[in-house]
Structure 1
Amino acid sequence: MDFSALALSPPLLQVLEELDFKTATPIQAQSIPVLLQGRDLVGQAQTGSGKTAAFALPLLQKVQLQHRKVQALVLCPTRELCAQVAGEIRRLGRRLPGLQVLVLAGGQPIRPQLEALEKGAHLAVGTPGRVMDVLDREALETRQLSTVVLDEADRMLDMGFREDMERILGAMPPRRQTVLFSATFPPDIEALSRDFQRQPVRVTVEAATAGPDIQQVRYDCEPGDKQALLLRILRHYQPASAIVFCNLKATVVELKKSLSASGVSVDGLQGDLEQFERDRVMAKFRNQSTRVLIATDVAGRGIDVEALDAVINFDLPMQAEPYVHRIGRTGRAGRAGLAVSIVTPRDGRKVDDIQLATGVKLERGDVESLPSADPRNAVSLESTWDTLYISAGRKDKMRPGDILGALTGEAGGLEATDVGKIEIQDHVAYVAVARRVSRVAFQRLSEGRIKGRRYKIERVK
């Protein structure tokens, strides 16, 4: 379905045209008309299906810009997903003058978020814990709130947020629109819908079967040979960016140590990290200063990285559903994707379940054809980028062009090709710079000014 057939306002259609979004995805085509009517909805869709725009466009269509009160709340399981959803809403709403989208998430001080609420915002995106905190302080005015969206509801339940979700929904105006998106529909989700929705429309987009754009390969080995095989796989495919999934936090720590010792640009993501550490790990991975990220399923929730070359299952998950969710992160937007699984003799049942669920037989890779683990003839798996941290962000009126100008202008003297991805968060920013000039870039930014001011600059290790 063409977006022009969806009764969206001219400013939204103009943005969609600018972004070259012409045809709605199935979840968008089925959800947007229902949500524009104000009806409750239960949507079943995987990450990468376009579900954010499916609820964001109706929210933006209905927002009353003259009333600077929170009119819609989106709940997400992680701070990273909150940032992504808020960024997408801002991008789609950039032709709506004065639109204010606020993130209410933990891992950072609550005071600036409370101050932003006092000044007024139209839409809020938050994690259950922080939203509960804000409600307990009576800082969130709910009288104008007409829509609540629960994004990735099944993951919020998995993470133990059920009580918070129920309390938040119970604190919202009774006559509201309640929207629930979830990749799976266990009994807990059905119960949540039954208790808090009114005659919801059910929209189901078939679970991704790890489609034709993803090559799925298995390499077989004995359990004791998995680490050496992983290194050989990375040297063979040489991905610029790859996520390696494990089932245990201890495996993440162990693999990070062994791959780093073998010269791989690698970092780990597991539940014990402080939020600021997690932010830095993800910023480096998104801008390819880190090539390989090792994660558990729980720590990996909310990760959504553009142009991910490969997903590697160091450990196969216990069920097929997480496998589909893992590998759905590669092969996006028409690009070819790669999913590699390391299979031991004890994984036979898991492989059968995955092949049955996806309808795809895993292609057998030839272990003998992989490069040896001998470091003397190995290709480099280091990154050519470093990351610099800047102590100012969007709320400080910092823009990507300001940072680029400071690095490539007369004072900075770098070539534009030496500057990679620039990521602006609320109060900090990250910029990738070519490793060969990173020392110079650090010195120029530390000694110089951005928009006439000096900021704290750090190299992110």
Structure 2
Amino acid sequence: MDKRFETHFQELGYSAPTMIQTAVATPLASGENVVGLAPTGSGKTVAFTLPLLAKLLPGDGTQLLVLAPSQELAQQTATVMRDWASLIGLKVTALTGGANVKRQIEKLRQNPEIVVGTPGRVLNLVSERRLKLHLLVSIVIDEADELLVGETRTDVEDIIREAPGDVQLSFFSATASPALDELTQEFGVDVTTIDVRDQDRTQGDVTHGLMDLPANLRAMMLRRFSRVAGFQALVFFNQLGTLEKAAATLRHEHVEAVSLAGKQRQVQRADAMRNFRQGKVKFLLTTDVAARGLDIPNLPAVINFDLPDSAVTYTHRVGRTGRMGASGLVINFGNDHDLRRLKQTLKTTDYQLSPLYFAENTFVDHRPTSERTRSQDRPVGIEQPAKPEKQQGVQPTSHKVKPVKSRQEGQPMQSTKATTPHHKKNKHSKNKGMRHKHRMNQED
């Protein structure tokens, strides 16, 4: 490690570099093209920041470019790098979609040595000749398994073509992918792969729980979780529509939650992240792309409101908790079929999945045996209104029945037919009587 960084490293509370930080330091410093694979939360950002910053010259134009898949991760990476760059007189600029492009162009005129951005915005500014890459010495593709697929892969390739032919390339990810195996063929460079995933032990003890819960009760279960003191969670959704519906339900229930998805402005997204990091809200509702690579210190839990369809996605989601040795909790919502499918998806991984229940404002690994929950064949903690008890042999009545008086001898029999002020005689019966009287008179 560069001597200029050692003091600050200790001030931040780090006792020693992590495994990935140690493994990639020399190859990056010597200019090698590197693929760095390490678990989430193992310090990959610092791993490429320290050796690459030490090679840059203040005032010599843009020399380092870092690409990230989301606005939030780009801003987060820029913040980390700016902290270290300020120690040696270097400037960092973030270029992300959703932010004011004119303001970004003004910052580029200050010739920052480091640029961190999303591929779309970076490529647009390169095409407009606002961002010049002819002085680049290194390009970092962070969350490479995400960036090297689909349209973003094309953007990354176009950006690299604008850089000098001998630019150093480095790719970092928590999971391997076929795209990382094709780097030599795709870019025509030799790449050194450094994989410490099996040896790294930076992640703390994380519990992976399965909670059998129908879709229509999941938002209400979040409301119950919100009552637990100090509880916070990053909540993942597969579809934006489901996220928005859950957010509306939580607002109606006065639960403190923010969203990180959709067509939000950069200011709104930044406010959501800041409020969540500061503990002002209980839940951050998000999708996979928006939350990729986010570092939220001491995050208590991750909730899969919708279960992921691949082990890679599961790995990136659950890596938000239990970072840097802290403990964590992962809660997987789903019905019986969903949970069995998740087990099948993760059967080749080391994740240990077990049933999880919520009772008396705490999480337990066994079904509660209280009288209230023992008779309920449903997820623990969901209250339902009690059914009214039926009274045997008693029928409700809407009116009182008057008793019928007995007839005395000599009195004409009275009709027991009840009459009301609105009772009218049947006109057909009346006419029938008149016709009978008329026939009798004719016979006489």
TM-score range, shorter chain: 0.7 to 0.9
CA pair 21-272 structure 1, distance change in 2 beyond 3 A: same
Deviations 1:92-122 (A, max 9, x none): 23321x3111112221222222222222211
Q: 1:342 is aligned with what amino acid?
A: F
Alignment CA distance shift 1:206-1:189 (3 Å): same
* 1:339 counterpart = 2:338: no
- The AA in structure 1 aligned to 2:39 is Q
* Aligned-partner Cα distance in 1 for 2:150–2:282: 28
Count of aligned pairs between the two proteins: 365
Hey, what's the Cα distance between the residues in 2 that align with 1:238 and 1:253?
Answer: 25
Check whether the contact 2:62–2:133 (CA below 8 A) recurs between aligned residues: yes
CA apart distance, 1:164: 0.9
Alignment of 1:26-37 (within 5 A): 26-37=19-30
Gaps spanning 5+ residues in structure 1: where?
1-7, 376-461
User: Which of 117, 127, 137 is matched with 1:146 structurally?
Assistant: 137
Q: Which residue of 2 aligns with 1:105?
A: 96
Match of residue 215 from structure 1 = 207
Query: Is 2:342 the counterpart of 1:353?
Result: no
Instruction: Give the Å deviation of 1:210.
Output: 10
More helix by share: 1
Alpha-carbon separation, structure 2, partners of 1:113 and 1:119: 10
Deviation, 1:292, is 0.9
Question: In the TM superposition, what is the alpha-carbon distance from 1:301 to its structure 2 partner?
Answer: 2.4
Q: Distance in 2 between matches of 1:40 and 1:281?
A: 36
Residue of structure 2 in register with 1:258 after alignment: 249
* Distance across 1 between alignment mates of 2:232 and 2:121: 32
| Aligned residue in 1 for 2:421 | none
Is the CA contact 2:213–2:335 (under 8 Å) kept in the aligned structure 1?
yes
What secondary structure, in the 3-state scheme, does the structure 2 residue paired with 1:285 have? helix
Matched, 1:173 2:173: no
* Aligned twin of 2:85: 93
Aligned CA distance change for structure 1 residues 240 and 158 (closer, same or farther; 3 Å): farther
Amino acid in the other structure paired with 2:265? E
TM-score, normalisation: structure 1: 0.73
Query: Do the aligned residues in 2 keep the contact of 1:80 with 1:303 (CA within 8 Å)?
Result: yes
Is the Cα–Cα contact under 8 Å of residues 250 and 257 in structure 2 kept in the other structure?
yes
TM-score (norm 2): 0.76
Q: 1:21 aligns with which of 6, 14, 18?
A: 14
Deviation at 1:316, TM superposition (A): 1.2
Higher relative contact order (CA 8 A, sep 6+): 2
> 1:306-357 deviations in whole A, cap 9, x for unaligned?
2211111122111122122111111223322111112312111212332541
Give distance in 2, aligned partners of 1:330 and 1:218.
Answer: 16
Structure label with greater radius of gyration? 2
Corresponding residue number in structure 2 for 1:204? 195
User: Is 1:187 equivalent to 2:178 in the alignment?
Assistant: yes
Return the alpha-carbon distance in structure 2 between the equivalents of residues 268 and 17 of structure 1. 35
What does 1:21-100 align with in structure 2 at a 5 Å threshold? 21-65=14-58, 67-96=59-88, 98-100=89-91
- The answer to whether the 8 Å contact 1:355/1:361 transfers is no
Q: Please give the alpha-carbon distance, in whole angstroms, between the structure 2 residues aligned to 1:238 and 1:356.
A: 36
Distance 1:87 1:228, change over 3 A: closer
Output the amino acid matched with 1:122. Answer: E
Query: CA 1:228–1:100 in 2, change beyond 3 Å: closer, same or farther?
Result: closer
% of aligned pairs identical?
Answer: 33
CA distance in structure 1 between the partners assigned to 2:65 and 2:204 by the alignment:
36
Residue 283 of structure 1: how far off its partner (Å) = 2.2
Cα separation, 1, equivalents of 2:53 and 2:187: 23
User: 1: distance between equivalents of 2:258 and 2:194?
Assistant: 38
Alignment check: 8 A CA contact 2:24 2:47 kept: yes
Distance 1:373 1:297, change over 3 A: farther
d(CA) in 1 for partners of 2:162 and 2:16? Answer: 37
Give the SS at the match of 1:180: strand
Paired with 1:106 and 1:39, the residues of 2 have a C-alpha distance of: 30
Give yes or no for the alignment of 1:306 onto 2:301.
no
Cα distance in 2, alignment partners of residues 201 and 257 from structure 1: 48
- Counterpart of 1:323? 314
Separation in structure 2 between the aligned mates of residue 133 and residue 285 of structure 1, nearest angstrom: 31
Q: Distance in 2 between matches of 1:197 and 1:87?
A: 32
**Residue 48 of structure 1, CA deviation:** 1.1
Q: Which amino acid aligns with 1:56?
A: T
